[in-house]
Structure 1
Amino acid sequence: MTSLDDLPIRDDLRGKSPYGAPQKVVPVALNVNENTHPIPEDVAHDIVARVAAAIIGLNRYPDREFTELRTALAAYLGHGLDPAQIWAANGSNEVLQHLLQAFGGPGRRALGFAPTYSMYTLLSAGTGTEWIAAGRDDEYELSPETAVAAIREHDPGVVFLCAPNNPTGTPLSIETIRAVADEARGIVIVDEAYHEFADPGTPSALTLLPGHPRLVVSRTMSKAFAFAGARVGYLAADPALTDALRLVRLPYHLSALTQAAALGALAHSGEMLAMVDEIRAQRERIFDELARLGFHPYRSGSNFVLFGGVDDPHAVFEALLEQGILIRDIGLPNSLRVTAGTETETTAFLEAIAAFAPGRPGSDGPNRMAS
């Protein structure tokens, strides 16, 4: 039987592993930062009606420029954005891929600050872009000084800033983003996939778009909009930059059904985002309770919490899985990550993780704080 090694795959892809998180059917799935709240029933009915109407015209190609969707996304984002500044694709990963196809490639370098979203490295590899991993400060923070020093050292063609950062949840200050946008000669991508979960009043990188024609702000409908299964991501940037992405996108890349579903969700954005406050409250509840138990939760502006102080992450992961609770072992030393779910889901996790609290009799033994 032919194996991958037998195929004439590109040399720079040999030995690589595809993106993957465990996909298991369990009562409490808190591993991939989904919004675990269901879409409100009245919103779902409206989306179904819009998709049904689109089905009648499926014999025709969809609007290649997704004009109505770009208009709706610009209105949702605000900040005086024009539809010409908006781009969308099948999830924010495809948005990022378009950017690397247009501005990365062989002989060019992309820089990020590790640990960060693993798809950046995979997308860079897939487009033949050299990946450079710069370091962070203590507690996974990123100061303007640290970020600018990496830009000056490597002079990358593309910079990834994850705000807040995945997988650590660390918020990223607008001062750091501004410093990078001012310093970098290449494209600066600020990935705001989790921005809606940030503390109220947290400024978006959208405020920096005027005067920074090479700045990109990427968003997704997967998280706050509970729309992960629909696969809708988008960005805001200078019109010239969005125009460049037409050179690399596939024809009619956003289906009529995707556009209809996204428009339905955006038409009910207030109702769709009403659950964000509850998710933020559960995140804070997780943070406080983990700290009380003796773990080391890291500062988070997202819908998940990374926590250290776990002596054997894999063993704890497996023990929770046996109880029907799926969280994430992301490979950081002595650490695990959990998504903030509903109140019931959060309670189930907190009750289960308490058995592994550092120093608790019968736990995994002496626990070490993650660095």
Structure 2
Amino acid sequence: MRQKLAELTWLDGISGNEQNVRNFIIQNLPDKSLKYYVDNIGNLIVKGRSNGNCNLRVMVAAHMDEVGFMVNYITDDGKLKFSPVGGVDSRILIGQHVRVGKDKIPGVIGYKSIHLQDKSERESVVKIKSLYIDIAAKDRENAQELVSTGDYVAFASEPVFFGDGKIKAKALDDRAGCAVIMELLKETWPFELYACFTVQEEIGLRGALVAANRVKPDIGIVLEGTTCADVPKVKEHETSTVMGKGPSISFADRTSLADRELFNHFINTAEKEGIRYQIKNTVSGGNDAGRIQTSGTGVRTLVVSVPCRYIHSPVSVLDLNDLDNMLKLVSRSLHTLPEALGR
């Protein structure tokens, strides 16, 4: 799973442009006999193996897309102006390496040199509209030979295993969830399981709603990468999760409320099996559960996340032991779910 995670983060999959990630997952399905479907918006839905008669339909979801940018204008001197796709902090962008378009043209995000900035510019946060991408083009015509307006722009960073069981990479939110679901598809389930690799989560949870309306699940389990605030100057009560303390179980966020029976079942499973876990301490952020929960006639949902430092940046950090424990927690909780629900 760890190697698959690294390979997934190599791929560029900005919201609306997830096909490379989707194709990789299809090519690496653990059983070529598994039936899958790609819907009109680009979600990949895979039906897991089942050997039970339980009339329960479970949707396990993770999103394939990542934050990035889109070229919206080419200047006379060949620089690329761009817009964000998803939530990105402009303070981290200056000097970042990027890849532009299908040909992955190398570029760097630039801004006026500090030597040329006045006092107000040095003391304020630069706006994205003031930045540009330099692809070393001599003029607009030269740039247009390489890229076009509408081209996607991804961070150009590579996955690296480092420290004591850590990985640093882009797009850990949510290739981590995708990697776990790929492992879950190796198992046989006592109910109908649908693995949904969704699109366009970062720009409004769009794919999840479409997938949920197709699958019509009774239960929705969302696997995510979430904020990890165990960094200096963050107050204890504002620390959402702590790296190394296991996957987090959310009781609520800005888009969904956890089903209490599911919430308690996953906690009881972790306690019984000795799986390290934590409760997410803040009610912040949103994810695919918000759309799954309110799809159809309503779905009982729960979010399980792996803590990631510096998400929505060129390089986030994840503890691989947390990822392993996320797989254990979800797998063992789902296998005992019918009994826990009296089904």
Name the structure with the higher helix share.
1
TM-score, length-normalised on structure 1? Answer: 0.25
TM-score, length-normalised on structure 2? Answer: 0.26
